[in-house]
């Protein structure tokens, strides 16, 4: 249904390092970067689905939407655990330690982080 998601960040280089390192735990990598415009795109193969962009690129009418929640699919539970640890190492804040969330379904294993810009992100494994 969705083609891609973009979030705006305060410090492009810091956020790029955060996502380069933490999304690697989920087998997601930076596929494109337009560093002159401070834009980077991430995905598992050839198409970026998740983008970050410098605040200077957002329209004046747009506000940062901190109410947004983005969940990244993890290949297994160990990847969720590694992602969570890496996020903390790169300046993310705990918003829910790795574990089962059986209120969603019996095999919902996830961790929750607030990234350096205040975006709420999650890594989840369903099997």
Question: How confident is the prediction for the chain on average, in pLDDT?
Answer: 90
- Structural domain includes residue 34: yes
- Structural domain includes residue 61: no
- Structural domain includes residue 120: yes
Q: Is the pLDDT of residue 96 over 60?
A: yes
- Structural domain includes residue 107: yes
In this structure, of 9-13, 38-42, 59-63, 84-88, the range with the lowest mean pLDDT score is 59-63
Q: What is the pLDDT of residue 61?
A: 45
pTM: 0.80
Is residue 116 within 8 A of residue 65, CB to CB? The reply is: no
- Structural domain includes residue 33: yes
CATH of the domain at 77: 3.10.180.10
Residue 8, C-beta contacts closer than 8 angstroms, at least 6 positions apart: 52, 53, 54, 55, 57, 58, 62, 64, 117
Q: What is the pLDDT of residue 66?
A: 59
Q: What is the mean pLDDT of residues 97-101?
A: 97
Q: Is the pLDDT of residue 64 over 60?
A: no
C-alpha to C-alpha distances, 30 to 5, 50, 52, 65, 110, nearest whole angstrom: 14, 9, 10, 23, 22
Is residue 58 within 8 A of residue 16, CB to CB? The reply is: no
Domain that holds residue 11: 5-55+68-125
- Structural domain includes residue 16: yes
- Structural domain includes residue 10: yes
H or E segment to which residue 17 belongs: helix 12-23
Rg (CA), the chain: 14
Task: List, in sequence order, every beta strand (DSSP E) within the chain.
Answer: 5-9, 29-34, 39-43, 50-54, 69-73, 93-100, 109-114, 120-125
Give the model confidence (pLDDT) of 29-54 as tens digits.
999 999 888 999 999 999 999 999 98
- Structural domain includes residue 20: yes
Is residue 72 within 8 A of residue 121, CB to CB? The reply is: yes
Q: How many domains does the chain have?
A: 1
């Amino acid at each position: 249904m969705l083609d891609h998601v973009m979030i705006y960040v305060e410090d492009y280089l810091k956020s790029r390092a955060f996502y380069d390192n933490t999304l690697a735990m989920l087998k997601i990598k930076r596929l494109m970067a337009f560093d002159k415009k401070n834009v980077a795109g991430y995905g598992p193969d050839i198409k970026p689905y998740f983008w970050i962009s410098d605040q200077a690129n957002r329209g004046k009418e747009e506000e940062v939407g901190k109410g947004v929640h983005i969940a990244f699919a993890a290949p297994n539970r160990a990847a969720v655990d590694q992602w969570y640890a890496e996020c903390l190492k790169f300046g993310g804040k705990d918003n829910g330690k790795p574990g089962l969330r059986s209120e969603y379904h019996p095999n919902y294993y996830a961790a929750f982080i607030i990234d350096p810009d205040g975006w709420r992100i999650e890594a989840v494994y369903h099997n």
